[in-house]
Structures are given as structure tokens and as C-alpha cells.
Amino acid sequence: MDHLQAETAITADIGVTGDVPAVAPAASEGFYRHRAVVRLTHWINALAILFLLGSGLNIFNAQPNLYWGRYGSNANPPDHAFFSIGAFNTPDGPRGMTQIGSWQFDTTGVLGWSKVSGEYTARGWPSGITIPSFQDLADVRHWHFLFAAVLAINGLIYLSWSLWRRHLQHDIWPTMADLKAIPRAVLDHLKLKHPRGEAAKRYNVLQRLAYLGVIALITLMVLTGLTMSPGFDAVFPWLLDIFGGRQSARSIHFICAALIVLFVIVHLAEVVLAGPINEVRSMLTGYFVLPREHP
């Protein structure tokens, strides 16, 4: 709705100027693209995700294995971890090893065996990417739960506002025409061609799908996070059923986190490619300067 008002306002401005040629609005008065609630929840979400990823990797280090099913407590049979990070003694000294399914990689220096304050230590994810950098399960859980609460409350505000103001239905949910344009949009993205003029006023279909996807991922993160809590399992035992057990839920939690990292990488790359100043400014002030149409 605000979009329409903004568009009408700009059109009206142009209309008023009448006989004089339409002038592009000044930078600060560009197309009003992001409403205040979207901007605010976006940045709170970004901060929460950053802290949750860093603290999540630190928590993972307390049990650097992933299992499928109801139980799992050991990397080796009979429990069968499908993903595992560990340190092992070899004739050449300790090495960090990472196992995915039946593949094993030597990841010394990064995963399993890496430097903490200059000294090699047995450690799942390296200290440079965990929050806090030192290993302490008690402390890191505090950060994780603090920002989990921030993420959940912020997400609920965003979702309920988006449904109420039809942001989700109007701006995010793809139309049939959008879906038919997927091959074209994929091609344009591969050529790094970004929409210009009128087309830049709305999210393209790949953006819509990516944003829907990340909303779904964050929802899954919250639900699988709750499933790892014995208290919430007693309240909502069906959570254990939908995710196939607490260890499956923990693994899905980790896989969704990895997909969110992938989203963030692509998201940031697109911001850089599409014009970082214009993009970041629009997420701060709401106003976006429309890239001119090609002549």
C-alpha cells in the first residue's frame, strides 16, 4: 500500500511539473522501497543471525558430530555420525580431520586442530569464527539463547506485520507471471544483469523465492531449536515426530544454519553487484534510486 502511495506521489510530482520535462527525484527522495518495520527488523535480524551463527558453532564444538534419528552420542559405531570434526594422533603428530558420510578430509589448521591464541588446540570450529572466541559451553549458551529470543520476537513482529500490511502477499509471494519468468531471471542473474527502471521497483522472482526461503529457514531454525529442549519437548511432543527425533532436529538445525550462511553470501554478493551504496542506503533510509532504463 505504501508502495502504491509512494508511486502515486512520484507520479503526481511529475504530473504537477506538467510542461517541463520530468526530473529524476533527488537521491534522498528516490523510490520509497523499504518501509520502516522492514528496515528495522532486517537489521535486528542480521545482528541476531550473526550472533546465533557464531555462538552456534561454539556450541557445536561441545559435541562436534551430527547424527540422524532419535539418539546419538558417539562419532563411531554403533551411533554413526554422518558429520564429524575431530583431532587424531598420527605419526606426523595430531591432525584435524573432518568426516562427511564416508569421506574424510584433513582439515588441520581450520577444523579439528587449529590455533587458539597461537597454540594448536583440539577444537571443532576455529576460534576466529566462534562467539565468544574461547570455548565455554555455559557462556556461549547464554549468548545463543539471548539472541534466539531476539530472533524469535523480531521474526514474529516482521511476519505478523507483513501479513497484516500484505507485504508478504504483495511483495514477497511470487505471482504466476513471476514463476513463468524464472528461466529468464536465472539467465539475467548469470549475466549479472539487474532490473532497471520500472522493473526495479519490485522484487524479481529469484529475490522473492530467496526471501521466502530464508523466512522458511529461520522458522525451521526456531522449531528445531525448540525440539532440542527437553522442556519444550514435553510441551510439544509432536515436534519430535515432525523432525524424526532430537538428533535429527539438531542436524536439521545445523543444515539450515549452513543454508542461511549460503543465503547471506549470495545476498551480500547481490548487494555489491547491484550497487552497494544505493542498496544499503535504501535499507537504512527506505529510499532507493531507480537505475535508469537502458536507452
Is the separation of the CB atoms in 116 and 138 below 8 Å? no
Strand partners, 31: 288
Q: Which has the closest alpha carbon to 111: 121, 49, 119? A: 121
Q: Minimum CB separation from another protein for residue 236, in Å?
A: 8
Between 145 and 211, whose beta carbon lies closer to another protein?
A: 145
Q: Which positions lie near another protein, rule CB under 8 A?
A: 43, 47, 50-51, 59-60, 62-63, 65, 67, 70-74, 78-79, 131-143, 145-146, 149, 228-235, 237, 240, 245-247, 250, 284-285
Nearer to another protein, 43 or 105 (CB): 43
| Closest to another protein by CB, 30 or 72 | 72
- 264 vs 269: CA distance, rounded Å: 8
CB of 63 to another protein, least distance (A): 4
Min CB(138)–another protein separation in Å: 3
In sequence order, what are the beta bridge partners of 119?
116
Q: How far apart are CA 69 and CA 249, in angstroms?
A: 8
Q: What order of strands is seen across the sheet that includes strand 103-106?
A: 65-66, 83-90, 93-100, 103-106
Among residues 134 and 173, whose Cβ is nearest to another protein?
Answer: 134
Strand partners, 99: 84, 104
Please state the closest distance from residue 71 (CB atom) to another protein, in A. 4
Return the SS3 of 1: coil
The DSSP secondary-structure symbol of 228 reads T
- Nearest approach, Cβ of residue 148 and another protein (Å): 9
Which is closer to another protein, CB of 142 or CB of 193?
Answer: 142
Closer CB to another protein, 17 or 133, in the complex: 133
Residue 192 to residue 181: CA distance in whole angstroms: 16
In the complex, least distance from residue 9 CB atom to another protein, rounded to whole angstroms:
16
Place of cell 554422518: 82
